[in-house]
């Protein structure tokens, strides 16, 4: 049975803000060279942008007019509109759940892309993600899931053949959750009722957006809001420290629980490094978050960040991540540059496995060895 439809209204206007110039400059300058004369630099850049679609809402079409030929630029604009509307629907679809958590007195913190949108971007929907991640304490996990179900979400799993969510196999779900650090999918089907004509046309005419939108050829496309509730950051990293330092950031429609910059930075470095060394091409979009985070890392915050990384044996990961920031045109402050210089030499007698040092992930971000 497909997860039932819920009507929902979102703000779907286009909001164009200046793109992160450093991020675009690097993408345009380091796009892999075409292997075939039939593939242009413009097409390669568009492919890289679509692979890192999480930043599309924050990128200004005007900034890419010179980097993309007309056809590729038109595709970028359509893709950007489709993703932005998807994220806006996702945010609206999760709002009632987050408000109910607050009403129940459950301490939570947004994580990953949801946290980045709140902490680093002028509008939450300018940072996209497949799902909406948040963390709660272990003792609150069952209550948080019950609140999500009351808010219209369902225990679900993705049908890979149809790309849609179906009711979860509870036995399989229990097996997976027993050895994982988050609940399985909680999904809510959203029928968005106020998409503009431009956005409906973009969704209909750009097949790439159909991974987010279903029945895209009709006048009533719909999508999912998907929540992942974490009780750890990984199998080895507990959530207690992050929750203890989390805070509520005010917004025009209320406030949201978010991690402090030190814990957000530690989690970002962990995700960026481990995903990048293990999966070619994955994680480049997270540098767009890091570029925005670096100005927030004053000496005291950075010292706290390093203490978290040291506790979880992630100093080598931080070195490999931070050392590449100047490639984006980012000037490192003295305390961050000092860390990079000090960490360049591995501790005497250190074993790479013992220090979690799997080498430089930079080539793998670009799909190269």
Instruction: Tell me the pLDDT tens digit for each residue of 32-60.
Output: 444 443 446 899 889 989 999 999 999 98
Model confidence at 303: pLDDT above 90: yes
Q: pTM here?
A: 0.90
Residue 315: is its pLDDT beyond 90?
A: yes
- Tell me what the mean pLDDT of segment 146-172 comes to: 84
**Is the pLDDT confidence value at 108 over 70?**
yes
Tokens representing residue 236 in the block:
């080895």
- What share of the chain has pLDDT > 90, as a percent? 64
Of 14 and 249, the structure prediction assigns the larger pLDDT to 249
Q: What is the pLDDT of residue 27?
A: 72
Average pLDDT over residues 142-170: 86
Q: What is the mean pLDDT of residues 103-132?
A: 95
**Segment 248-284, tens digit of pLDDT:** 999 877 899 999 999 999 999 999 999 898 887 788 8
SS3 329: coil
Is 136 in contact with 269 (CB distance < 8 Å)?
A: no
Q: For residue 1, what pLDDT is reported?
A: 32
Encoded tokens for 338:
């000092």
Q: Return the closest-CA partner of residue 263 out of 294, 304, 298.
A: 304
Distance CA 27, CA 30 (A): 5
Section 203-232 average pLDDT: 94
Give pLDDT, residue 343.
94
């Amino acid at each position: 049975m497909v997860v039932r439809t819920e009507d929902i209204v979102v703000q779907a206007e286009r909001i164009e803000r200046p793109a992160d110039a450093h991020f675009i400059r690097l993408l345009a300058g380091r796009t892999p060279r075409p292997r075939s004369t039939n593939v242009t630099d413009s097409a390669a850049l568009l492919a890289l942008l679509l692979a890192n679609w999480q930043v599309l809402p924050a990128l200004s079409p005007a900034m890419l007019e010179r980097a993309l030929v007309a056809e590729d630029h038109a595709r970028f604009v359509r893709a950007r509109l489709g993703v932005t509307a998807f994220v806006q629907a996702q945010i609206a679809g999760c709002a009632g759940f987050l408000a109910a958590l607050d009403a129940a007195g459950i301490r939570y913190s947004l994580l990953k892309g949801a946290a980045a949108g709140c902490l680093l971007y002028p509008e939450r929907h300018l940072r996209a993600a497949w799902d909406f991640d948040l963390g709660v304490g272990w003792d609150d996990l069952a209550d948080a899931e019950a609140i999500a179900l009351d808010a219209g979400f369902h225990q679900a799993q993705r049908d890979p053949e149809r790309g849609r969510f179906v009711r979860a196999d509870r036995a399989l779900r229990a097996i997976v959750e027993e050895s994982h650090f988050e609940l399985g999918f909680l999904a809510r089907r959203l029928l968005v009722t106020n998409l503009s004509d431009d956005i409906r046309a973009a969704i209909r005419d750009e097949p790439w957006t159909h991974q987010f939108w279903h029945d895209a050829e009709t006048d009533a496309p719909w999508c999912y809001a998907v929540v992942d509730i974490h009780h750890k950051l990984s199998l080895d990293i507990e959530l207690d420290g992050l929750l203890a330092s989390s805070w509520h950031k005010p917004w025009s429609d209320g406030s949201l629980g978010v991690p402090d910059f030190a814990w957000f930075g530690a989690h970002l470095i962990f995700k960026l490094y481990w995903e990048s060394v293990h999966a070619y091409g994955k994680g480049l979009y997270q540098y767009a978050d890091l570029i925005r985070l670096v100005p927030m890392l004053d000496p005291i915050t950075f010292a706290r960040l390093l203490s978290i990384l040291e506790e979880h044996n992630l100093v080598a990961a931080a070195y490999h991540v931070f050392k590449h920031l100047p490639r984006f045109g980012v000037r490192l402050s003295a305390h961050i540059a000092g860390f990079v210089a000090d960490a360049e030499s591995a501790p005497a007698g250190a074993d790479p496995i013992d220090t979690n040092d799997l080498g430089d992930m930079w080539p793998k971000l670009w799909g190269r060895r």
